[in-house]
Structure formats: structure tokens, C-alpha cells
Amino acid sequence: MTRLFRRRDERGVALVTAIMVGFIGTMFVTTMMYVAFHNQTSSAHNRSWGQSLHVAESGVHQAIAYLQNSSGVVPAGTQTGTTAEGTYQYRITAQARNRYQIDVVGSVGTASSTQASRRLRVTMAPPISFKYALFSLSDVTTKNNNVVCGDIWANTYVEVYNGDSVLASTDPICPAGGTGGVGNVAAATSYIAMANNSTIAGDAWSGGYDASNYGITMSSGAEVKGNAKASSSTPDCADDPANTKYKIGSSGKVSGTATAWGTITSVVVGTKTPNSCTPAPATKTVPTYEYNSANYPAGTVHEYTFPADYTTFNNYIAANKNNLSGVFHITGGGASYPVLLDGTTVTGDLTVVATDSPIDMTTGGMGASGSADKIVVLASWYAAPASGCTTTGGNPADCAVGFKNNFSMSSGSLSGGDNTAVLIYAPNGPVAFKNNAEFHGAVYANNIQVKNNMNVAYDARLDQVVGFGSATLDVENWEECDPGAVTTSTCG
């Protein structure tokens, strides 16, 4: 009897065990199926997440292509498109000064568990073209009480006269928060001359020498606060095997290091390295310009042909001289038909482009007023006589752009900041300043002559100016935003 009960107990235990094993097996299979399904869904969503970024990027490129082929005309509303992976929406918003904001959403997948979207925001702007306070295809000459906040570049020589200063943008007398350079001076193929008590806050780098064989000539009290380097434009300094040229001296002080192929007789605080050959800086070109009326706000463009429209233009300036703004594109003319802007006051963005005539302000000067942020562009392709501009102080037909007496575009001091930035551009002829010029901006010209109380501070607003550069628009910013619609104003 005992043996019989024991068999029944064993059978019961075996049955329970079988049931438990079956249950566990079912749970394992179910779990494995769930995990497999979850992994498959998760992988599909991850694929959609990655693909949606590719789709959004396709939308960005489509929007950029639209801008390039539409002369800046923005399509109305939201545009849509498809790729092999999904669909995208894009919206282009025109902003001030030829900038565009592109918002794009790319979507992949249809089921809620596998669908994914990514949102991008891209800003298009004119290419970076202007980085120097003064830039010359030949020489830069300053004379008598001038201050430059920023860098100077010349393809030939630079002369900094008595008491003149080239300063870093962070100097206390320069605009607060300025980013316009550290006060470097470069003369690519010739010399740098520093007269008594002149200052270069950054580095001085020359690529040639003067009549006395100095690459960097320094008079009493002159100081280069950075490094000084007198280099040769001839490979391996082969033009001067005896080390008689490319000198630094004979007076002055270099607070950093000094390196020259010739002798160094200036006081040098850092390391002094004479008889050392270094290559000169390569010459540079000015940014190119292409006029396109579509680059400017509708209703602001005025087009004239001189001499036929000369009187009409002058009458317009006379009627609006106290409230001048807009775009003026002037073709034709010549020395006898200067663009006269004397006594005008700028109150908004102003662009004056003269293809054949000089721009002249030699009597009444030019000023700015109002609290609006303004960019002023004065551009002339007039080819002035070789020496007239430097000897007459900026009379019509003598300079491509000439200023005389009170070109005052700042609010009273460089350090106080200002809401007006000025670009002066003359690739074929000289620009001359004489007697009291003060502005924030940049000068790019074939030749620059400065005399008597000119203060200029480079302004970073001129990095990117409409119409200049090798491309119409460049990508200024590209970022991924938080999920949202193509019309969402914030990026996050």
C-alpha cells in the first residue's frame, strides 16, 4: 500500500514539473518574441531617425538651389518635396541685408512606432569679405594725428607717421567689444616706416626694404608692441647674400621678438634673431563686387546713367540731403561728373555704386543721424591719375573717393560705439582723407592716403556686405532644432 501511494506521489510531482516546464518554456518563447519584435521596431525607428536627417538636408539643399536661381526672390509659404527615403517641407524667410533663414522638416515612415522627423535651421548670408580696417593694393600712408583700430594690409609699403597709432580693437579708446583685429601691420612686398612716437600694437611684417635698406624702419619713440619681422620676397633671400638689406632699426623698440635677414639695431625685449631668412607675406586681392538690384530691398534702388541723368541725380540729392538712404547705381560719367555727396546726412542703409565717376566730399563733409542701425557703402571704380590725389587732398578727378573736412559718421568718440558702419571701396583708384574724419568701418582701395585727424575703427558688421565676395550667399549657420513644425519660430 505504501508503495502504491509513493508511485502516485511521484506521478503527481512529474505532472507538476511538466506543467511548470511548459509554462516556463512558453514564457521564454513569448519573451523572446517580444524582444525580437521590440528590437525590430526600435531598429526601424532608429533607421527612420537617421534617414529623416538626410531627408531634411535634401530640403535644405533644395531651398538653397531655389535661392540661387531666383535672384533672391523668396517663395510664398511652405514648399514640399520627396526623396527615396521620405518627404520634406521647407520655408524661406527673407531677413535684412540679403540674409535668409531656411527652416526644414524631414520625415520618414508612416506607422506611429517607426515614424521620425528632424528639423533644421540654416542661415544664408553674403560671404565674409572684409577683415582689415585699411587694405590697399599698393600703399597706405598716414600723417598727423591718426588712429586706426584694427589691422592694416598693403601690397607694397606702409608709413605710420609721427604720433599715429595702429591699435587693437580691445584698446580702451577703441569701440567696446570690438573684434576688428589686434593692430597688425603688413607690407607684403615693401617696407614699414614708423616715424617718431608712432605705435603698432600688434605685429609688424614687411616683405621688402626702403632706400636705406630697412625692412622696418623705426624712429625715436616708435614701438612695435608685438613681434617684428623683416622678410624677403625673394626665395631664400637670394637677392641679398651679404645680409645688407631687410634690416630693423635704427631706433625704436620691439616689445616682442624681432627677426630679420639683415641687422637689428632697435631695442628688442624678446628674442632678437638677425641674419634669419623668412618668406614675405603673399600679396592679396580685393573682394569682387557684382551689382544685382534684386539683392536690395524693393523700392530702394535708384539707377542713373551719367551724363544724361547727372542733373536729375543732383536734384534728388539736394532734395534728400538731410535724410539720405537707399541704393544708387550710377554708370557712365567720368572725371567731369563726380558723385557729389557734400553736406549729406545718412539716416538709413546707403549704397552708392559709381562705375565710372569719382565720389567726392571735399567741402561740406558727410554725417549720420538717427538711432537706426546703418551700413553705408561708397564704391567707385574710377581710375584716378597716379599722383593727383596724394597732392591735392581729394579734389574731383583726383581721387576715386575723396574726403576733405568733416567726414563724421560716428557719435563723437570711437570708444563710445556707433550705429553706423562705413565701407569705402575703390579697387582702381586712390582714397584720400584730409582734415577730420571719424567713422567705424573699413577702407579697401588701390591706394590710401590719410592726413590730419582721421580716426577709424574696424566694424565687424562689414564682415559680410551685400554684393561682395566670390559667391552670392554662403552658409552662415547650420543647426538642428527641437522637434516642431517648419513654421515654429524658435529653434531650441
Q: Which residues have CB under 8 Å from 13's CB, separation 6+?
A: none
pLDDT at 244: 96
Domain map of the chain by residue range? 2-126+473-481, 134-188+283-462, 199-281
Residues with pLDDT less than 50, the chain: 1, 3-5, 8, 29-42, 177
pLDDT at 108: 92
pLDDT at 442: 92
For the chain, the maximum distance between any two Cα atoms, rounded to a whole number of angstroms, is 137
pLDDT at 14: 57
Chain length of the chain: 492
Report how far residue 180's alpha carbon sits from residue 171's, in angstroms, rounded to the nearest whole number: 11
| pTM over the 0.85 mark | no
Report how far residue 320's alpha carbon sits from residue 194's, in angstroms, rounded to the nearest whole number: 43
pLDDT at 42: 47
Among the listed residues 379, 489, 367, the one whose alpha carbon sits nearest the alpha carbon of residue 428: 379
pLDDT at 433: 84
Distances (CA, A) of 199 to 133, 221, 229, 248, 381: 16, 9, 16, 15, 32
Report how far residue 35's alpha carbon sits from residue 12's, in angstroms, rounded to the nearest whole number: 34
Which amino acid is residue 337, in one-letter code? Y
Whether 123 contacts 130, CB under 8 Å: no
Give the SS3 label for residue 462.
helix
Give the SS3 label for residue 273.
strand
pLDDT at 45: 55
Report how far residue 316's alpha carbon sits from residue 272's, in angstroms, rounded to the nearest whole number: 60
Burial of 266 (0-12, 13-18, 19+ CB in 10 A): buried
